[in-house]
Amino acid sequence: MEERLLSILMPVYNEEEFVRVSIERALRAPLPAGMRSELVAVDDGSTDTTPEILAELAAACPARIRVIRHPKNLGKGAAIRTALEHAAGEFGIVQDADLEYNPEEYWKVLGPLVDGHADVVYGSRFLISGERRVLYYWHSLANRLITTACNMAADL
């Protein structure tokens, strides 16, 4: 049976402090059986040492890491679109370079896809299973209030 490919799409902007660890953790993430991963990092016009770090990582592991560079900052959406254009995987996950999402949980998202129970899966840091956060209710309420206030201010 042929292995299925996961493309980890990583938009990166001025992340010299985190990008090395982020890429290493993303590539070590446990995956469902029969799956392997590649990482497509898009440097979105970084002005720190991020481009050099990305080039070093890609040179050390060219079979798994692909780096594309935007000459200027075009925004996260543009970086994700560029990553999608260069991705070879059957599946894709967007992984922020600051590790906002835990790569150790990729398998939770991929499981329903691989098993054929879903065509698409969306993750949310607000949907909690297992261990519950203290003050989750207050965090959720504050988030809704701030979102509503911003929407009202923007006339949305």
Both 82 and 147 in one domain: the answer is: no
**Mean pLDDT across the stretch 134-145?**
71
| Confidence tier at 44 by pLDDT (50, 70, 90) | very high
Is the pLDDT confidence value at 120 over 80? yes
Structural domain including 40 reads 4-123
Both 18 and 93 in one domain: the answer is: yes
Task: For residues 111 and 155, give the distance between their C-alpha atoms in angstroms, rounded to a whole number.
Answer: 39
pLDDT of 70: 98
| Confidence tier at 132 by pLDDT (50, 70, 90) | low
Is the pLDDT confidence value at 98 over 70? yes
- Judged on CB neighbours under 10 Å (0-12, 13-18, 19+), 12 is buried
pLDDT of 150: 82
Cα distance between the two ends of the chain: 49
**10 with 38: CB under 8 angstroms?**
no
Which strand ranges, in their side-by-side order, compose the sheet holding 91-94? Answer: 65-70, 35-44, 4-12, 91-94
Both 93 and 146 in one domain: the answer is: no
Is the pLDDT confidence value at 6 over 60? yes
Both 71 and 94 in one domain: the answer is: yes
Both 73 and 146 in one domain: the answer is: no
Both 44 and 55 in one domain: the answer is: yes
Both 35 and 111 in one domain: the answer is: yes
Both 19 and 64 in one domain: the answer is: yes
Both 75 and 28 in one domain: the answer is: yes
pLDDT of 73: 96
Output the domain CATH number for residue 14. 3.90.550.10
Mean pLDDT is lowest, of 32-36, 42-46, 48-52, 127-131, for 127-131
Both 102 and 149 in one domain: the answer is: no
Both 118 and 130 in one domain: the answer is: no
Mean pLDDT is lowest, of 11-25, 55-69, 91-105, for 91-105
Q: How many domains does the chain have?
A: 2
Q: What is the pLDDT of residues 100-113, one digit of tens each?
A: 889 999 998 898 88
Both 79 and 135 in one domain: the answer is: no
